[in-house]
């Protein structure tokens, strides 16, 4: 019997993403269950206004800090030049030139547009992670990790339903 190394597609992040999809997501959000901060951002709306404005999936992610299933976002394969913006308020968040294939199942970027996103500490799931939110509406976008490519070494792992794409 010949033992071969695992294919590159099965690297650590991909395995964790697949485990998260099968083990965690059906039972609980991958983020805390508290809603996004209210009244502390330039764009503030009532819960009823956000529900009217957003689809059910967008509301779950942006306002309840939910997570979409990996490999389900059409934006995962988006390759055109343009800008990825907040689905709640239209704020430009990430340039397409900073998008890369992370193998995790979520759109990933190595750098946000200056001052477009903020971060906070997420202690859900028994681990400490850095949550990423829109600086204008406070909507939950995803998380940032320190295993991304150069030049930043960061991986902004963002829910596709939290974004809209504006082609150039």
Q: So what's the pLDDT on residue 166? A: 98
- Reported pTM: 0.78
Q: Which pLDDT does position 8 carry in this prediction?
A: 39
Tell me if 4 is assigned to some domain. Answer: no
pLDDT of the residue at 5: 40
Which domain covers residue 62, as residue numbers? 10-167
Q: For residue 107, what pLDDT is reported?
A: 98
pLDDT for position 15: 38
Asked if residue 157 belongs to a domain, the reply is yes
**Cα 61 from Cα 84, distance rounded (Å):** 16
E strand or H helix that includes residue 118: strand 117-122
Give the pLDDT confidence score for residue 75 in this predicted structure: 97
**Which of 74, 85, 99 is CA-nearest to residue 156?**
99
pLDDT confidence of residue 36: 47
Catalytic residue among 31, 86, 134, 157: 157
Residue 3 in domain: no
Per-residue pLDDT of the chain (168 residues; tens, 9 = 90+): 333 344 433 343 443 444 444 333 333 334 443 444 444 899 999 999 999 999 999 999 999 999 999 999 999 999 999 999 999 999 999 999 999 999 999 999 999 999 999 999 988 888 899 999 999 999 999 999 999 999 999 999 999 999 999 999
- Give how far Cα 153 sits from Cα of 36, 100, 133, Å: 27, 12, 19
Rg of the chain over all Cα atoms, to the nearest angstrom: 16
The structural domain count of the chain equals 1
Residue 33's CATH number? 2.170.150.20
Q: What is the per-residue DSSP string for 55-80?
A: -HHHHHHHTT---PPTT--GGGG--S
Is 25 within a domain?
yes
- Please indicate whether residue 157 is annotated as part of the active site: yes
Residue 119, domain member (yes or no):
yes
CB 137 within 8 A of CB 117: no
Location of structure tokens 């295993």 = 147
Closest CA to 159 of 84, 92, 97: 84
């Amino acid at each position: 019997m010949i033992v071969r190394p695992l294919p590159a597609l099965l690297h650590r992040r991909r395995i964790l993403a697949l485990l998260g999809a099968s083990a965690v997501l059906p039972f609980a959000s991958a983020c805390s269950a508290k809603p996004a901060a209210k009244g502390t951002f330039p764009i503030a709306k009532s819960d009823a206004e956000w529900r009217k404005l957003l689809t059910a999936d967008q509301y779950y992610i942006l306002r309840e800090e939910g997570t979409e299933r990996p490999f389900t976002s059409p934006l995962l394969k988006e390759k055109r030049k343009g800008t990825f913006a907040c689905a709640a308020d239209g704020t430009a968040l990430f340039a397409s030139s900073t998008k890369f294939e992370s193998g995790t199942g979520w759109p990933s970027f190595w750098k946000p547009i200056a001052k477009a996103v903020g971060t906070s500490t997420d202690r859900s799931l028994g681990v400490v992670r850095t949550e990423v939110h829109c600086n204008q509406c406070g909507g939950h976008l995803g998380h940032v990790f320190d295993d991304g490519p150069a030049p930043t070494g960061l991986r902004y792992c963002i829910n596709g339903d939290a974004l809209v794409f504006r082609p150039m």
